[in-house]
Structure 1
Amino acid sequence: MRNSGLPEEPPGPQGRDPQGDDPLERAVWRLRSRACWDDAAALLAPHAAEDPGAALRRTEVLTERCVFTGRGWGTAEDALRAAEALATDDEERGAAACERGHLAYAATLLGVRDRADEARSALGRAAALLAPASPTRPLLNFRRGLIAQHLSENPSDATAAFQRAHAGAAAHGQRLLLSFTWRHVAAMAEHDGKLTEARYGFAESLRIREELGYLIGIAPALASLAAVLPDAEEAARLRAEAGRLVRLLGGVPAWLADRLPPDTAPA
């Protein structure tokens, strides 16, 4: 189920919020949030050789590059296989399965190759491995909602999954994921004609992304909010701002650049 008139969101957050004062995590966050995925992956590479967590984070960074640029699928797949090989317990194996499901879903949604069955199977495996209180479970619920929304076209299942993900992200303090759950809860409200709820959710998604400094995610949030504003002048201002951000980032995200009006499209 797609929302007519609303630019497609990249298929879910890759990676996590910046954690505490860890210099590596902060550096990776700054780079990836500004579309410098190769540099972020290079920072993680020495640690990813032996550390399952670092290997998974590197996979997340490289998958995010695929989603925002449409390139680098083979590199992301190689990184994912390396992360799977390093996983030693159910939490690590479940998180890796969640990433496999996400990569397969993204490739399907963006028309690279139909991997829908692989995506569903991998997310089902993740659900069996992850404990109910696992911090990865909110992300798993969100990704299952994406499949229900975009591949199965089941709005009731999608809404329920997004709501579970939203509650879990709030409980675990996962603000980046919360920005995505707000957006998709809002998209479902827009689909149902509940425009006041949709505007609130899109505005919350934008607010969180701005507070986090998630630069690559701000233009999509601006475009989504603009689509449900009653004030045409304000909507045009937000779309123009989104266009400037896309140009600043060199045409990223590519899927949004293709949907911008000609006067704001990147050169």
Structure 2
Amino acid sequence: MPAPRTVESDDPLDRAVWRLRSRGCWDDAAALLEPHAGRDAPAALRRAALLVERCMYTATGWAAAEDALRTAEALAADDDERGGAACERGHLAYAATVLGVRDRADEARSAFGRAAALLAPAAAGRALLDFRRGLMAEHVADSPDSARAAYRRAHAGATAHGDDLLLSSTWRQLAGLALRDGELAEARHGFTESLRIREELGFLIGTAPALAALADAAPEADADRLRTEAARLHRLMDGVPTWLAAHLTTTPADT
């Protein structure tokens, strides 16, 4: 599924978009895609995904994300593109729900269901869909068993398709469920892997949340150091993610 990617690409545009996205400059990254997004379905979907991600991290920009999604939906010409647009619409509705902006849980479920019907089991976008359905199961339906199964499918898919950023997120969410079950060693391993991948990718905007998550499973002395570093990075990112300050001692809903 054409979405904001972390692949090592020779395309200067891909590299520029990734550099901006990884630093939380979603508007600037979307602007680079705007000249192509009015006529090219993959570019429109990538741009929409960037703006949806901004909503998840900042709780702002909802109207711009909706407009970008409508464009992506209008341009979608095959099942993969339609499924990708539905997956992003579901994620936008999920973000509005978990961030307390508006309860759009039914819309999220419906959109994810459309995406599941459109995306083939081996499609590149299927792993991301599985992950997001896991988020719904965990943070909206409070069904950890369903969430764990979805995260494991997403983890396998991310591994198969080489999607390292998604892999960092599946590690983190599986670790969070392990921590919930009192499995400290498993939780520490998963959180450590998630942090390692984000640091290696240079995904700066997602590093502070990964540090804070690892702190929840770390010994007290290490936890203090990790939270201090998370707070430093959070200030460096001008308080983004907006939800992190209130969650430095808990595991927030992932992005």
TM class by shorter chain equals: over 0.9
Q: 2:129 matched to 1:140?
A: yes
2:237 is aligned, of 216, 239, 249, to 249
Matched, 1:197 2:183: no
* Alignment RMSD: 1.2
Match of 1:129 in 2: 118
SS class of match (1:227): helix
Matched, 1:112 2:101: yes
Please say if residues 212 and 248 of structure 2, whose CA atoms lie closer than 8 Å, have aligned partners that are also in contact: no
Amino acid at match of 2:4: G
CA distance in 1, matches of 2:51, 2:226: 29
Aligned pairs for 1:219-238 within 5 A: 219-230=208-219, 232-238=220-226
Distance in 2 (CA, whole Å) between partners of 1:167 and 1:198 is: 18
Q: CA deviation at 1:234?
A: 1.5
Q: Secondary structure at the match of 2:5?
A: coil
- Supply the distance in 2 between the matched residues of 1:221 and 1:57 (Cα, whole angstroms): 24
Name 1:206's counterpart in structure 2: 195
Q: Gaps (5+ residues) in structure 2?
A: 250-255
Which ranges of structure 1 fall in alignment gaps of 5 or more residues?
Answer: 1-13, 262-267
Give the Cα–Cα distance (whole angstroms) in 1 for the partners of residues 248 and 111 of structure 2: 34
Corresponding position of 1:51: 40
Per the normalisation by structure 1, the TM-score is 0.90
SS of the residue corresponding to residue 198 of structure 1 reads helix
Aligned counterparts of 2:81 and 2:96: Cα–Cα separation in 1: 23
Give 1:88's match in structure 2, choosing from 65, 77, 81.
77
Return the alpha-carbon distance in structure 1 between the equivalents of residues 48 and 126 of structure 2. 18
1:194-223 deviations in whole A, cap 9, x for unaligned? Answer: 010000000000000000000000000000
2:174 aligned with 1:185, yes or no?
yes
Conserved in 1, the CA contact under 8 Å of 2:7 and 2:163? no
Matched pairs, number: 247
Q: Is the 8 A contact 2:128 2:154 kept in 1?
A: yes
Change (3 A) 1:51 1:19: farther
Greater RCO, CA 8 A, separation 6+:
1
Question: Using a 3 Å threshold, how does the CA distance of structure 1 residues 242 and 81 change in structure 2: closer, same or farther?
Answer: same
In the alignment, the residues of structure 1 paired with residue 52 and residue 129 of structure 2 have an alpha-carbon distance, to the nearest angstrom, of 16
